Amino acid sequence: MKKLFLVLVITCLYSSIFPQNVDQSWFREFRTVIPGKHFEAGWFHEFFFGTHWRDVWTTPVRIGVVDLDKYGSGLTPIKKGGGLQTSSLRFKGKDGKEYKFRLLDKDPKKNLPKEIHESIVVDILLDQVCSYNPYAGFVVNDILDAYGIYHTEYTLSILPDDPLLGEYRSEFANMIGIMELVPDITQFEGSDKVIGSIKLLNRLNKEFDESVDGKEYIMARFLDILLGDWDRHKDNWKWIMFEDGKRKIYKPYPMDRDQAFCKLDGIFPWIAEQNVLQLNNFGYDYSNMRYLTWNARYIDQRFLAFMPKDEWEKITNEIYDKFTNELIENAVKKLPAEVYDIAKNEITDKLKSRRDKFKEASEEFYELVNVSTDIYTTDKNDLVLIEFNPILGIGLPLPENEKDLTRISVFKKENNAVDKKGGLIKQKLFDNSITDEIRIYLQDGDDDVVIWGKCDISPKIRIIGGDGKDEIKNNSDENILFYDDGKKSQVSGDVNWDDDKFNLPYELPLKGFMKKKDNLSKEEKDKYEDLIGNLRYEPVLPPDKFDLTSFIPIFTYSPDFGPYFGGTYNYTKYGFRMNPYLYKLQFTLGYAPVKKSLKGLVADFNSDFMGILKRTDINFHVRKSGIELNNYFGMGNNTVYNDSLSASKYYKVEH
């Protein structure tokens, strides 16, 4: 009986670290190691820089050392890779599969100028790596399984000090990390292709009949929000293509769960969270939804803009109903046994709390996606039909207590003809009480936009032309904004046409690529594609919608005025194609106690308006301060400096 109990304990321990498809004989030995001993810190350090997941990082864990002759039937390293902070090593297995080993620890120096690599800034950033839970992926995968979302399998591993590592031996030998399987079509029955986000977006631009599975994508995004995973930019996804008749559907394959359960406690991390949009603490409640979804805002708009409200609510309820206490508790058991007791209560309690508030968070996310919506057509010929209050009939007044609505329909044009039944690509009815603005990016092709109807409250409609002959026919009573520097386009009706040339960041490298693509190798073409895609499909910087606020506390000390306490509040309003912003307001308030009067008060208000008048910057600045100081040594270059006068502050002029 005792032997049976021991076997069960060992089985549970192994199953929490190794996925079912990993043969434990692929490891040459097992070591008990401390993954992040350098994160140990005292209470004073933790007060200012955070407790984070230090106790998890500094707990000894039993980890297998990869046998390069057996893992995947034999691994051969093929190339080094990695993201902004994480180094990785790719392997080719004799089983025909590719594997990727990602270091558990991170190196923020990769994002910083070499000039500060030896500075205290790097030490602070290295210390903040312990804000993420190194074993979060094991918990996340179990939850994704419950909803049928594709994902990679993680295996906690140590690379051996082995000559088989070749040129990578010095960098990766004895390093702790996660071994994962690189997705390919052999893993997904019925799949024809696995591609990255740039290739996907290029495909969606070119083809009418290809799309993302909206239900699975929003389910994956809902789970990101529940798990507090804010780092869901385009490079953290793969897409699995399946054929559905004549259509091709891409299902999401989320990767890299480093920022799930990210903890940002401590004075300085809290200040950073208030001022760096994408940083979000995993708490009992949700962060600001705009910031929690900030890194994924571009692909959210591309893939969620046409999801109807009723379907959004249906999927919300499905996520909520399945996210049971049992699911949470079983998923948390996937943590390594050594850290389970340390982290289980906090993760479990926070997930239950976030689950209970999820429906409100989902509603907030829906409004965020729909308040200012981006719609993209293809590079082919499209027809966009915009109808104000289409259900009631064009131009008819609304009955009392009814909503104003706007319907957007996108059709494909073939041979300059439109099949309004078989040619419908996508369609959605927008609630004008939620949607303030709709931006329609026509991209390339000869596109038509037709506007009909009338309503009391309508969203602002911006139509952004691309290459090709675009025609805008406004038969409604609403004003339409059109941006196109092409000479072939035509407009009719109430349309404001802005024909200023606007240079997009990807246009220059695209022209260079088009000139020499015939002489490029496949590898060179892929590099160009990545360069152009990263410029084209990254969110616009600076932001061109919404507003942002920040508060920066200030504490300084000077020998002249002693300590100074205060803070600066910033409010920035962004606007369409307004670089760097529409306007910015900055207010600073502080006090120097040594003055013991209002003379120690500093009040400063600075405003900068970039969008009131075209190509004009208007600035207004007011300041009150009693702690300004200058040194005055007299007129001319022949003045004599006197040490005793300087010691008596004779040269200092306060004002």
pLDDT in tens, 281-307: 999 999 999 999 999 999 999 999 999
Q: What angle do CA 12, 14, 17 make, to 5 degrees?
A: 110
Show the tokens assigned to 270.
């809290």
Helix residue spans in 464-551 (DSSP H): 507-516, 522-537
Cβ 204 vs Cβ 192: under 8 Å: no
Asked if residue 391 and residue 362 are part of one domain, the reply reads no
* Alpha-carbon distance values, 326 to 13, 321, 351, 644 (Å): 19, 12, 12, 77
Q: What is the mean pLDDT of residues 179-196?
A: 91
Q: How confident is the model at residue 215 (pLDDT cuts 50, 70, 90)?
A: very high
Residues 412 and 315 in one domain: no
Is the pLDDT at 2 greater than 70? The verdict is no
Q: Is the pLDDT of residue 110 over 80?
A: no
What is the per-residue pLDDT across 141-177, written as a single tens digit (0 to 9) for each? 999 999 999 998 899 999 999 999 999 999 999 999 9
pLDDT at 421: 63
Please write the tens of the pLDDT for every residue from 504-534: 888 888 888 888 888 888 888 888 989 999 9
How far is it, in rounded angstroms, from Cα 179 to Cα 158? 9
- Predicted local distance difference test score (pLDDT) of residue 5: 36
One domain, residues 467 and 600: no
Q: Which residue carries 């923020």 as its tokens?
A: 108
Tell me whether residue 509 is in a domain: no
pLDDT score at 420: 64
For range 229-234, the mean pLDDT:
95
Residue 330 has pLDDT above 80, yes or no: yes
Average pLDDT over residues 612-617: 82
Work out the pLDDT band at 400, boundaries 50, 70, 90. low
Does residue 542 fall inside a structural domain? no
**Are the C-beta atoms of residues 611 and 575 closer than 8 Å to each other?**
yes
Between residues 393 and 460, the one the model is more confident about? 460
Quick one: 470 and 577 in the same domain?
no
Q: How many domains does the chain have?
A: 3
Q: Please check whether residues 492 and 581 belong to one and the same domain.
A: no
Residue 487, class by beta-carbon neighbours within 10 Å (0-12 exposed, 13-18 middle, 19+ buried)?
Answer: exposed
* Contact between residue 555 and residue 561 where contact means Cβ atoms under 8 Å apart: no
What is residue 419's predicted lDDT score, i.e. its pLDDT?
65
What mean pLDDT is predicted for residues 377-399?
Answer: 77
What pLDDT is stored for residue 119 in this prediction? 79
Most confidently modeled of 361-370, 541-550, 612-621? Answer: 361-370
Strands (E), 582-648: 583-591, 601-609, 618-625, 629-631
Q: Tell me whether residue 112 is in a domain.
A: yes
Q: Are 243 and 325 found together in one domain? A: yes
pLDDT at res. 76: 96
Please report how the helices 325-332 and 136-146 are oriented relative to each other, as an axis angle in degrees rounded to 10: 140
- Nearest CA to 233 out of 307, 298, 151 is that of 298
The residue among 369, 390, 407 that closes a domain is 369
Which phi and psi (to 5°) does residue 654 adopt?
-90, 145
Instruction: State the average pLDDT for the chain.
Output: 89
User: Domain of 169?
Assistant: 18-369
Give the span between the Cα atoms of 419 and 409, in whole angstroms: 12
- The partner residues of 631 in beta bridges, in order of sequence, read 652
pTM value surpassing 0.85:
yes
Q: Is 51 left (phi over 0), alpha (psi -120 to 50) or beta?
A: alpha
**Does residue 296 form part of some domain?**
yes
Domain boundary among 316, 339, 369: 369
**pLDDT, average across residues 204-221:** 96
The whole-number average pLDDT for the span 564-582 is 92
Same domain, 439 and 467: yes
Q: Are residues 554 and 437 in the same domain?
A: no
Least confident range of 78-92, 236-250, 367-381: 78-92
Sheet containing 495-498: order of strands: 372-376, 437-441, 460-464, 480-483, 495-498
Quote the CA–CA distance of 280 and 276 in Å, as a whole number: 9
Residues 365 and 249 in one domain: yes
Q: Are 146 and 322 contacting, i.e. CB atoms less than 8 angstroms apart?
A: yes
Between CA 8 and CA 2 the distance in angstroms is 10
pLDDT, tens digit, for every residue of 243-286? Answer: 988 899 999 999 999 999 999 999 999 989 988 888 999 999 99
pLDDT at 16: 42
Compute CA distances 520 → 58, 399, 509, whole Å: 49, 62, 14
262 shares its domain with 123: yes
643 with 570, same domain? yes
Residue 650 belongs to a domain: yes
Average pLDDT over residues 549-564: 88
Residue 58 falls inside a structural domain: yes
**459 vs 117, which has greater pLDDT?**
459
Q: How many CA atoms lie within 13 A of 410 on its CB side?
A: 19
What does the pLDDT look like over 3-59, one tens digit per residue? 433 333 333 433 444 443 457 889 999 999 999 999 999 999 999 999 999 999 999
Last residue of a domain, one of 369, 402, 424: 369
Within this chain, do residues 79 and 215 fall inside the same structural domain, yes or no? Answer: yes
pLDDT tens string 4-20 = 333 333 334 334 444 43
Spatial separation of the C-alpha atoms in residues 181 and 72, rounded to whole Å? 10
> Does residue 508 belong to any structural domain of this protein?
no
- Between CA 437 and CA 290 the distance in angstroms is 17
CA distance 48 to 572: 28
DSSP state letters, 48-107: HH--TTHHHHTS-EEEEEE-TTTGGGSEEEEEEEE-SS-EEEEEEETTS-EEEEEESS--
Cβ-proximal residues to 81 (8 Å cutoff; 6+ apart), any chain? 87, 88, 89, 90, 100
For residues 412-435, average pLDDT? 83
Give tens-digit pLDDT for 460-519.
999 999 888 999 999 999 999 999 987 789 999 999 999 888 888 888 888 888 888 888
DSSP run (H or E) holding 565: strand 562-573
